[in-house]
Amino acid sequence: MSAIKIKEVALELFATKGYENTTMREIGSLVGIKASSIYSHYISKDELFEQVVQDLINKIKWENIDINKIKASITIVDIKTLLFNIFSGYYNFFANNKLDLLLWLRLRNLSPNMSNIQANVLNLSYGKPVLEVYIELFLYGINHKQIRNSSIQMLVMSFFAFISGYTDSLRIMPNPITTEQLTEAFEIYWDGIRYKE
């Protein structure tokens, strides 16, 4: 019995039943151990949940945007390509990892007493809050005439909504959309925010 097996079972239960509806006893039963044995690996259910969430965060590599590196770059960074890679990264990852998708969707709806977990999710990019990184990213795009000069808040919210809409669709669509459809969807989105002379 290992901590890895406990986390695998916990991921499945947290993703399908939610944090509140999952018990350590149930996790132990599915692993084949007593619930008390889990505590030799994890201090509490909260710590186990945090580890499962951290594992998910660690898988989301494409969102590790070093905004300082982008701003310091001698060449202008292509924001369109960067945003497409983030979008397609989320979509393709969650299309191929259904339990991670279910957990991700549940993380968006955690109860207020789980705010420390939400804070960890929001700090994906080199320890900076994701919202702050996206604000800087869109400002960079505006300053380099790649994105139209519009409300930063609306630009960031539209990007979050765009990603969320397509990742949420994975729960109801029988099959993921094709790469061509993903590209077409992004082109439609991009046309609405791109800089126009």
Confidence of residue 189 (pLDDT cuts 50, 70, 90): very high
pLDDT at 122: 54
Q: What integer pLDDT is reported at residue 115 of this predicted model?
A: 57
Average pLDDT in the 140-154 region? 95
DSSP annotation of 30: H
Chain centroid to Cα 81, Å, comes to 18
Nearest-angstrom CA–CA distance, 167 and 183 = 14
127: pLDDT strictly greater than 90: no
Taking only the tens place, the pLDDT of each residue in 49-77 is 989 988 888 888 656 667 777 777 778 88
Percent of the chain's residues with pLDDT above 90:
62
Mean pLDDT (whole number) for 153-165: 94
Domains of the chain as residue ranges with CATH: 1-59 (1.10.10.60), 61-197 (1.10.357.10)
pLDDT of residue 87: 93
CA angle 180, 181, 183 (to 5 degrees): 65
pLDDT at residue 18 greater than cutoff 70: yes
pLDDT at 120 over 60: no
**From its phi and psi, is residue 76 left (phi > 0), alpha (psi between -120 and 50) or beta?**
beta
**Predicted TM-score of the model (pTM):** 0.85
* Mean pLDDT calculated for residue range 156-183: 94
Indicate the pLDDT class of residue 126, thresholds 50, 70 and 90: very low
Give the percent of the chain with pLDDT over 70: 86
For 39, 54, 62, 132, the CA distances from 123, given in Å and listed in that order, are 27, 11, 14, 9
107: exposed, middle or buried (Cβ count in 10 Å: 0-12, 13-18, 19+): buried
37 vs 46: CA distance, rounded Å? 16
- Specify the DSSP class assigned to residue 105: H
